Amino acid sequence: MSFFILATVRQPPPLPPRLVRDSRNLWFESMDGTVVIPIARDGHPGPWRLLPDHDGLGVAPTELDLGATPGVPGGHVAGVITTSRPTVLPLSLRTTNQAEQWERVQELRDLTDPTVGMTRDGNFKLVCSSASGTRELVLAYRAGLEGKSMDLPHYERVVLTAVAVQPFALDREERSVEFFIADEDRGFLAASSGDTSADVFSDLELSPSEVIGEDMPVAMTSAVPVYPTIEITGPADSVLITADTGLRIDVPTGVDAGDTLRIVTDPRAAAIRLNGAPAAGKLALGSRRVPFAPGENRIDVAAPGATSDTMLRLTWRGAHRSLW
């Protein structure tokens, strides 16, 4: 008697989608970038690990300035204040022996030492590379390395506390846009950002010796208002820069040919320098250093005596409420 067995091949059930591990990479860095200490997460190699329950790396903290009207119940929001950002970073250290443990801890002590190299903003950086880009916070060390040792040669735990007095996470790379008279014969301004340039004012019919730009669009790549650094390269008999944000930069004595006037508008590091030398007297008293808003801003630049060598450069680093 013969038997026949009919069999069919069935496809196995589909596997559940594989969870994507945390793509963020974090590291500590010295202010000059010469010392880098990676902070690993699960799935990332490295002796230092960032543990759960870290705090202060999301959005920058804010407070509300509340006002009141006499005789009216309740109040109103008069403003939003972004305050300094405290951070708490629990870290574990896994090493092969005690000598390596001490070496790693000493490296972190040296990097975060508040008695060496402290600036107005802090003395070391926390950097994060993520899908949102690479951003950094400048931190000032507070506590965590006093020496609560577990006396284990292969494991140590540190809870590092610090504060970012400038609470916004900054892009690592500066961005800039330049405006200049591209062709004296045509007499119109061109704008350049990176490797591209375009004639954007060929319909204005403006004299290059009077006005080098009106209603010029500048797209500020930042999530919060940002103060640009302004550089004016002469010649120009006088320079007046205004923006729809309220910015007003008035240089009544102008800038000589070949000279560069650099104006840092950020109040935290305000400076005015001509060819690197202090030149605070170059700005008129009515000048207003106001931040540019995120997105498109409009500026006007009047520069009598301008030539094809006259240039305006705006430089900034995008700022963000979150580290990622």
- Domain termination residue (choose one: 171, 189, 204): 171
Model confidence band, residue 24 (pLDDT cutoffs 50, 70, 90): confident
Can you list the alpha helix ranges (DSSP code H) found in the chain? 98-112
Per-residue CA distances from 320 to 43, 64, 256, 323 (Å): 27, 19, 37, 7
CATH number of 92's domain = 2.40.30.200
d(CA 45, CA 66): 47
In the prediction, which pLDDT does 183 show? 43
Considering the domain architecture, whether residues 124 and 261 belong to the same structural domain is answered as no
Model confidence band, residue 207 (pLDDT cutoffs 50, 70, 90): very low
CATH number of 207's domain = 2.60.120.860
Considering the domain architecture, whether residues 79 and 193 belong to the same structural domain is answered as no
Q: Provide mean pLDDT across the span 248-256.
A: 95
Per-residue CA distances from 4 to 8, 9, 10, 199 (Å): 13, 16, 19, 82
* 10 in a structural domain: no
* 191 in a structural domain: yes
What is the percent of the chain with per-residue pLDDT over 90, rounded to a whole number?
A: 61
Find all residues with CB under 8 Å of 47, minimum gap 6, and list them.
40, 93, 94, 95, 100, 104
Can you list the alpha helix ranges (DSSP code H) found in 165-310? none
In the numeric block, the tokens 């009047």 are attached to 302
Considering the domain architecture, whether residues 154 and 184 belong to the same structural domain is answered as no
* 3 in a structural domain: no
Rounded to the nearest integer, the mean pLDDT of the chain is 85
* 182 in a structural domain: yes
Considering the domain architecture, whether residues 274 and 138 belong to the same structural domain is answered as no
Range of the domain at 283: 175-316
Nearest Cα neighbor of 106 from 139, 138, 142, 145 is 145
Please, is 216 exposed, middle or buried when counting C-beta atoms within 10 Å of its C-beta (0-12, 13-18, 19+)?
A: buried
* 18 in a structural domain: no
Identify whether the C-beta of residue 318 lies closer than 8 Å to the C-beta of residue 171.
yes
Total domains in the fold of the chain: 2
d(CA 257, CA 235): 4
Q: Provide mean pLDDT across the span 109-117.
A: 95
In the prediction, which pLDDT does 184 show? 46
* 7 in a structural domain: no
Considering the domain architecture, whether residues 124 and 46 belong to the same structural domain is answered as yes
d(CA 251, CA 285): 10
pLDDT (tens digit, 9 = 90+) per residue, 128-141? 999 899 999 999 99
DSSP class of residue 321 equals S
Instruction: Flag whether the pTM goes above 0.85.
Output: no
Specify the higher pLDDT residue, 109 or 215. Answer: 109
- Domain termination residue (choose one: 140, 171, 202): 171
Structural Rg of the chain based on CA atoms: 28
In the prediction, which pLDDT does 69 show? 87
- Domain termination residue (choose one: 171, 192, 222): 171
Residue 32 has pLDDT above 80, yes or no: yes
Beta bridge partners of 136: 127, 170
Least confident of 17-21, 30-34, 240-244: 17-21
* 323 in a structural domain: no
Considering Cα of 96, then 99, then 100, then 106, what sign does the dihedral take?
positive
Per-residue CA distances from 268 to 120, 253, 287 (Å): 8, 26, 17
Considering the domain architecture, whether residues 165 and 218 belong to the same structural domain is answered as no
Structure tokens that stand for 96 in this block: 């092969």
Q: Provide mean pLDDT across the span 202-224.
A: 64
Considering Cα of 56, then 59, then 60, then 62, what sign does the dihedral take?
negative
* 17 in a structural domain: no
Per-residue CA distances from 71 to 75, 76, 79, 92, 276 (Å): 10, 13, 21, 56, 56
Specify the higher pLDDT residue, 286 or 190. Answer: 286
Beta bridge partners of 196: 193
Considering the domain architecture, whether residues 189 and 234 belong to the same structural domain is answered as yes
Nearest Cα neighbor of 176 from 311, 271, 267, 4 is 311
Identify whether the C-beta of residue 144 lies closer than 8 Å to the C-beta of residue 160.
yes
pLDDT (tens digit, 9 = 90+) per residue, 145-188? 998 777 788 899 999 999 999 999 999 999 988 887 644 443 33
